[in-house]
A and B are shown apart, each in its own frame.
Chain A
Amino acid sequence: MHRVDLIVRPRTGVRDPQGDAVEEALRGIGYDRLKVHCVGRFLRMDLDVPTEAEARRLADEMCKRLLVNPNLETYDLKIESLG
């Protein structure tokens, strides 16, 4: 069993109005020394597969087929064995 943490975020160079809006809100409540780099999405799932390589292969496939829009987004995977 492997735990997969997926982070999806806007590609560099793609406008991120969510990030801009959150930064503006934080500034509005007094945090003026900050720069929000991006706002993204997070997904945690467990995959019942024996190896980390297989977990990564499946997670990459899910990202390509459904979870990530390559026109706008990029992603990172963190994979951990649950023993």
Chain B
Amino acid sequence: MSAGRPVATVVVFPGSNGDRDLFETFERVGFSCRYHPSDRPLSGDSAVVGLPGGFSYGDYWRAGMLASQAPAVADLPRHVEQGGLVIGICNGFQILVEAGLLPGALSYNDPPGFRHRWLTLKVQSACPSPWFAAAAIGDRWRLPMAHGEGNYFHPDGAQAIQGRVPLVYDQNPNGSLADAAALLDATGRVLGVMPHPERASDPDLGSGDGLQLFRAAFAAVRRDAL
């Protein structure tokens, strides 16, 4: 880690469009943020790596599939093993699933269609995670959604993701199993989230609820660095 502020890296894929929102949010909570092209291996000094929303590679073949093969994504397991945090938002969540860092699959919304609107989500009990360390169980968050392929599926059903779903939809907009809007890996350090917390990082623009995730991650990284 560099001296001073902990580093957050935003991986930029061809077709990313939420990279700047994510960059601004990392900076806002105290990280020193940098962009990183997806076709290069990660540099290894980041406390947090973020995969932004968008349409990487035009969603060709399957959303997130082509991006999941990028060198920067191939380095993520090592980053997590070394204690690093990862957040994948929307298309970033799809990439994490395609890369096998999170289980299951994300498919076409059911009922079908691209949906973009504000949603209410509920924080629920899940495995310990630095991302949700400051979140109170039962809290309602207001975050925007903007996706056509956010329908979370696991072939073994809801039991397979028990304790891994920290955030659920109040009114399921896409057919996701167990109303899952977010998913954690077994370490709690890898988070995939389908709505956009980085676009809810300023109360003047609709909601600041998404900041809670990033503030909690910053606090966890700071604590580990001491």
List the interface of chain A (C-beta within 8 A of B).
14-15, 17-18, 20-21, 41, 66-67, 69, 71-72
Given A71-B154, A72-B105, list of 18 further CB < 8 A pairs?
A15-B151, A17-B109, A17-B110, A17-B111, A17-B112, A17-B175, A20-B112, A21-B112, A66-B65, A66-B69, A69-B62, A69-B65, A69-B98, A69-B105, A71-B104, A71-B105, A71-B155, A72-B107
B61: nearest chain-A partner, CB-CB: A41
Cα–Cα, bound, A21→B109 (Å): 11
Given the contacts A71-B155, A72-B153, A18 and B112 also touching, CB distance less than 8 Å: yes
Q: How far is the CB of B194 from chain A (nearest CB, A)?
A: 16
Please name the 6 residue pairs, one residue from A and one from B, whose CB atoms are nearest each other, closest first.
A17-B112, A71-B105, A21-B112, A17-B110, A17-B108, A72-B105
CB distance from B32 to the nearest CB of A (A): 35
List of B residues within 8 angstroms of A18 by Cβ: 108, 112
List 6 A-B pairs, Cβ < 8 Å. A15-B175, A17-B108, A17-B175, A41-B61, A66-B65, A71-B154
Enumerate chain B residues within 8 angstroms of A72, measured Cβ to Cβ: 105, 107, 153
| Nearest CB in chain B: distance from A63 CB, A | 12
Nearest CB in chain A: distance from B131 CB, A: 24
